[in-house]
Each structure stands twice: as C-alpha cells, then as structure tokens.
C-alpha cells in the first residue's frame, strides 16, 4: 500500500486502509470517546504505536462533548459530534497517523441524530471538499432484516456522494451500549449469532450502492462479563466470507467485518476473527475503566488535596495537586497504556500507512 498523508481518511483512502488491514492480517482499534481528553489519548496511543486508529462517538458521547448543560439534548448530540470531528480534523495530522472518524450505534430512534450529522456533513463537504465523518453506523439489528437493510440502503445512498461509508449491524450484539440494546438475555440467544445468508442478502443489496462494513454478531457482547458467560463463535464470520465469495466469485474475505463488544474478549478469539476479515474492533468499557482507575488512584494517593485547598494542619497549599490537568493526565496515560495492549492484540502497531 502506498503511503498516505497523516490525518483523517475517508472514501477511497479509507477503503485502501481497510484492505491493508486484511492483506496485512491486522485490525484497527475503534475507541469510543466522550471529550477532548479521551480523543487526545486515543491519538497519542496511535502515534506511540505507529498504528492507524478509529475515533468514534456514540450519541451519548457526542452529547457529553457538547456539554450536558446544553438544554436541547437532541441538538447537543449533533453539535457535540460536529465539535469532536472538528477537533480531530484539526489535530490528527500532527499525530502522524491515519485517523478514521466514525459514529457508533444509531438505532431507529436515533436516526434524527444521523440526519442532523448528514446535513452537517453536506455543509462541511461543500466548504472543505471532504466529509465531516469517514463513516456512520446504523444499528437496526432488532428490526426485521428487510426493514434493517432497506433503511441502510436509503442512508448509504445519502452519504455516498459525501465519500462516506456505512457500517451496519446484523444480528444483535448483546448487552447495552449508550442506550442501545439491553443487558437482558445475554446467553442462549439465537440473535447473538448472525446467519451467513443474512450477510449475503446485505451484500447483494448494498454493494452496488457503495462501501459498507458489517458488524456481524458471533456471540459478542458489550461490556465485560465473567468467563464462560459469553460464547464467541468467529467461525460464523468465516462462513459468511466464504458464502459471499463463492456466490459472487470474489477473492477471499470480500467483506469488511467489525468486532463489536471487544472489551474483555479472549485474545485467541480476537486473533481468529482477524483471520476471517475483521478490520475493526470496538473498545469502550476497558478504556473507560483504565481512565477511571488512574484518576481514582491519584485521588486516593493525596485525598486531602480533594478536601482542602490549604491543609488545615500545616497550611500546605494543594493547588498543584488538584489542578485538573494533573489528574486528567493520569487518566489519559492509563488509557494510552490500555490501547498499547489493544494495538498489540490487533497487530496494528508499526503498520500505520502514514509511516510506510
């Protein structure tokens, strides 16, 4: 693959990046963010590992980015996502890696959020000649397959002129992700396993329209659960790839597949899934925990600094301790450390196309 310019990638360059993943046997960490601290930590980790990266926002993450004091929550979801994207566009090239901008899990009730972002994307494209986001995700997996796919086709037609891609979900990823899904019935649920013929139906409908990726469920669940409570079956991905390739006479692994609910997954299952064409693994729960534990440890180490500005016993000032830059930085560093592990698990380290 030819070297790419560092910064946000989209369109043909995004597709080239995904093909590089499949050809090179690696996948990109896709990390949910909620503000500039987590965005910067993700890009710092990418630069440190010389790994291309995916920065993604859920509807709640976007709303938090805009500020929870904003009275109109629906507007905040759009404005926050636009603000986050502009932040990444401004800084990504300085981190020296390729960054994909993506939104995560929009079900039927969240389509107005995507509509708002498409409208903002049209305005951005007209002004800058590039899309605001590399891709959006629709999660209509709890609906009938025909309804799911017809809506996805409708949105793919809208964003193709903006040089964007679409991620869809087939089958249900267990657990709950920012208001989408639930924590009920995470075991013995047939919907946790996508059928290859459903994947073929999606390919038949969407591939003539534009580029898309598929979050096909193979038992994956959002969050972290005790061992044995989640049964991953990556062979479903293999069967889906083989069916599409056989039906359409394509080369091996024609699908760009996505691994949702990656936090806490067995490393052997991650490696197997990559071999079947997974190019992206979502990480949220583990990076949230990494950030939180580091901040908690910092507070526990100097608890009086978070109760007093000046120590009542010895008049010691604590401003240099409770300065938000100090404890937020600890969270960032811990998040970077967790993403070092993710880059190693996904074998993306040292493979940035901006470094080739």
Residues serving a catalytic function are 104
Distance (Å, whole) CA 84 – CA 120: 13
Q: Are 159 and 199 in contact (CB under 8 A)?
A: no
As a whole number of Å, the CA-based R_g of the chain is 21
Element (H, E) at 258: strand 257-259
For residue 168, give Cα distances in angstroms to 145, 224, 254, 301, 350. 11, 23, 16, 45, 29
Q: Are 336 and 294 in contact (CB under 8 A)?
A: no
Q: Are 135 and 102 in contact (CB under 8 A)?
A: yes
**Following DSSP, what letter does each residue of 32-45 receive, concatenated?**
E--SHHHHHHHHHH
For residue 245, give Cα distances in angstroms to 46, 60, 125, 204, 280. 33, 37, 34, 12, 20
Percentages helix, strand, coil for the chain (3-state, rounded to 5) are 50, 15, 35
């Amino acid at each position: 693959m030819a070297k790419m310019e560092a910064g946000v990638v989209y369109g043909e360059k995004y597709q080239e990046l995904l093909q590089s993943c499949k050809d090179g046997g690696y996948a990109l960490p896709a990390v949910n963010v909620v503000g500039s601290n987590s965005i910067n930590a993700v890009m710092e980790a990418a630069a440190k590992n010389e790994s291309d990266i995916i920065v993604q926002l859920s509807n709640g993450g976007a709303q938090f980015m805009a500020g929870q004091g904003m009275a109109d929550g629906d507007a905040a979801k759009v404005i926050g996502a636009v603000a986050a994207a502009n932040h990444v566009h401004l800084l990504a090239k300085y981190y020296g890696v390729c960054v994909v901008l993506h939104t995560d899990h929009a079900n039927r009730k969240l389509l107005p959020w995507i509509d708002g972002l498409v409208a903002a994307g049209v305005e951005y494209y007209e002004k800058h000649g590039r899309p605001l986001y590399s891709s959006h995700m629709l999660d209509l997996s709890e609906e009938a397959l025909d309804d799911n796919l017809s809506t996805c086709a409708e949105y793919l037609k809208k964003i193709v002129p903006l040089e964007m891609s679409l991620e869809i979900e087939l089958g249900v990823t267990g657990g709950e992700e920012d208001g989408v899904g639930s924590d009920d019935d995470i075991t013995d649920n047939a919907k946790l396993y996508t059928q290859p013929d459903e994947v073929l139906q999606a390919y038949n409908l969407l591939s003539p329209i534009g580029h898309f990726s598929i979050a096909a469920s193979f038992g994956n669940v959002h969050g972290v659960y005790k061992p044995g409570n989640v049964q991953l079956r990556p062979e479903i991905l293999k069967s889906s790839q083989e069916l599409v390739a056989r039906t359409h006479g394509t080369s091996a692994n024609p699908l760009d597949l996505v691994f949702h609910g990656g936090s806490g997954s067995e490393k052997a299952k991650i490696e197997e899934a990559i071999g079947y064409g997974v190019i992206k693994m979502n990480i949220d729960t583990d990076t949230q925990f990494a950030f939180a534990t580091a901040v908690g440890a910092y507070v526990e180490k100097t608890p009086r600094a978070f109760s007093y500005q000046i120590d009542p016993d010895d008049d010691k000032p604590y401003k240099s301790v409770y300065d938000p830059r100090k404890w937020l930085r600890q969270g960032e560093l811990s998040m970077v450390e967790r993403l070092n592990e993710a880059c190693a698990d996904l074998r993306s380290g040292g493979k940035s196309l901006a470094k080739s």
